[in-house]
Amino acid sequence: MLMVTVKLFGTLRIDSGVKELRMEAGSVRELIPLVCRELRRQRPDCAVSEKDLRACLVAVNGVRVGARSRLRDGDVAAFFPTAAGG
């Protein structure tokens, strides 16, 4: 399996209290339930759901990607909830 770094941003990070995870996954789609499970494991009271993660914009190594995007070993996948208002 491929080891990727997952970074959480915005309210996702504030709600989960988790900044970064290391996961094994081959695609963004595959990653989402794994991230959710890991968040629950680390923080049993964590309210972040798979739906919340699917509702994020995702960037891999700083480039926007879709859910079907494949991951490579060492990739950094970042999850950004929609934000506005400055």
Partner 1 sequence: MTTYCGYMGRVILLDLGERRAEDYVWTDRDRELYIGGKAMASRILYDRLTGKETAFDPENLIVIATGPLTGTGAPSSNRFDISSLSPLTGITASSNCGGNFGHYLKKAGFDALIIRGKCDSPTWVEIENGEFHFHDAAALWGLKTAETQEALQKALDAAHGKSVRCGMVAIGPAGENLVRYASVISGERAAGRAGMGAVFGSKNLKAITAAGDAVPTVFDREKAAAHRKKWVAAIRSHPLTGRQLPKLGTAGLVSSMQLHGLLATRNYAGGQFDAFEAVSGEALAEELTLSNSGCLSCPIRCARRVSVDGREVKGPELETLGLLGGNLENADLEKICRWNYELDELGMDTISTAGTLAWAMEANEKGLWKNGLAFGETDDLSQVFEDIAHRHGIGNELAEGSKRLSEKYGGRDFAIQSKGMELAAYEPRRAVGQGLGYAVANRGGCHLNGGYLVVLEGLGLDVNGQTPRGKADFCMLQQDLMEAISMGGQCLFTSYGLLPAFLLKNPNGALTKTVNAVIPFFGPAVRLLNKLPELACFNLPLLPYPYELRYTTGMKMNIGKFIRCGERSYNVERAVNARFGVSAESDKLPKRLTDIPQDPKRPDTRVPLEQMKKTYYRARGWEKNGLPSEKKLRRLGIC
Instruction: Read off the tokens for 5.
Output: 């770094």
How many CA within 13 A on the CB side of residue 83? 9
Q: Using CA atoms, how far apart are residues 19 and 27, in angstroms rounded to an integer?
A: 20
Could you tell me how many residues of this chain bind partner 1 (CB under 8 A)? 23
Options 6-14, 30-38, 39-47, 69-77: segment touching partner 1 (CB under 8 A): 6-14
Minimum CB separation of residue 27 from partner 1 in Å reads 14
Per CB under 8 A, the list member of 1, 22, 45, 85 interacting with partner 1 is: 85
Cα three-residue angle 71-56-20, rounded to 5 degrees: 60
Per CB under 8 A, the list member of 66, 72, 73, 74 interacting with partner 1 is: 66
Is residue 9 close enough to count as binding partner 1 by CB under 8 A? yes
Closest CB to partner 1 among 44 and 86? 86
Residue type, 51: K
Name the DSSP class of 27.
B
Cα three-residue angle 37-38-44, rounded to 5 degrees: 80
Q: Residue numbers of the site for partner 1 (CB under 8 A)?
A: 9-11, 13-14, 19, 54-57, 59, 62, 64, 66-67, 78, 80-86
